[in-house]
């Protein structure tokens, strides 16, 4: 009984440690100013490449270069990341963001893949269980105690099948 309690205790301790580390990381990030790269990664280049402003590799990109200058200007004004992103959303719309905001209809974009993955996993498990049970039918019925002829036929047929 003691062995079954140990993994639960370790699991709880592990979850607690992860929660503390995540909370410490969140507190550390809340007070710090965002880096230029962090903001670049949060914005999508508007040239049509589909990359972030940071990742856009077009030489003299007509979108990434002006966006970088705007980011620098916003950072020089002392604005924090949420305020800078709000500025770009107001100017260009939500399409400028590299990931949808986790509110309103966009919340569906965050949740749907995980829900579908869980449903698919459940279906796979259900089908696998049914398939594994399908091969486990009831054993063949034994012939009646007084019916040696039928029993002998079954025995001979099985022996022929086994040997041949």
Q: Encode pLDDT of 45-69 as tens digits.
A: 999 898 999 999 888 999 999 999 9
Q: What is the CA radius of gyration of the chain?
A: 32
Q: Kindly report which listed range (43-52, 81-90, 97-106, 133-142) carries the lowest average pLDDT score.
A: 133-142
Tell me, what DSSP letter sits at residue 96? G
Element holding 139 (H helix, E strand)? none
More confident residue, 35 or 15: 35
- pTM of the shown model: 0.48
Classify 131 as helix, strand or coil: helix
CA distance 149 to 164: 22
Percent of the chain with pLDDT over 90: 37
Euclidean distance between CA atoms 27 and 11, whole angstroms: 24
User: Residue 133 to residues 71, 125, 126, 127, 128: CA-CA distances in angstroms?
Assistant: 61, 12, 11, 10, 9
Among 39, 32, 158, which Cα is nearest to 87's? 39
Provide mean pLDDT across the span 80-96.
91
How far, CA to CA in Å, does 134 sit from each of 100, 123, 124, 127, 140?
Answer: 45, 16, 15, 10, 15
Separation CA 115–CA 43 (nearest Å)? 27
Residue 32: Cβ within 10 Å count: 11
Greater pLDDT, 126 or 17: 126
Contact at 8 Å (CB) between 98 and 43?
A: yes
């Amino acid at each position: 009984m003691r062995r079954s309690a140990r993994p639960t205790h370790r699991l709880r301790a592990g979850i607690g440690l992860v929660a503390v580390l995540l909370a410490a990381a969140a507190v550390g990030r809340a007070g710090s100013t965002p880096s230029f790269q962090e903001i670049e990664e949060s914005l999508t280049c508007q040239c049509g490449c589909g990359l972030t402003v940071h990742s856009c590799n077009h030489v003299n990109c007509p979108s990434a270069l002006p966006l970088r200058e705007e980011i620098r200007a916003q950072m020089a004004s002392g604005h924090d990341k949420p305020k800078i992103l709000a500025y770009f959303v107001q100017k260009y719309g939500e399409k400028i963001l590299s990931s949808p905001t986790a509110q309103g209809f966009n919340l569906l974009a965050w949740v749907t893949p995980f829900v579908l993955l869980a449903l698919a996993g459940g279906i796979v498990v259900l089908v696998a269980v049914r398939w594994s049970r399908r091969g486990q039918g009831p054993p063949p019925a034994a012939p009646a105690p007084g019916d040696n002829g039928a029993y002998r036929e079954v025995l001979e047929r099985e022996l022929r099948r086994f040997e041949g």
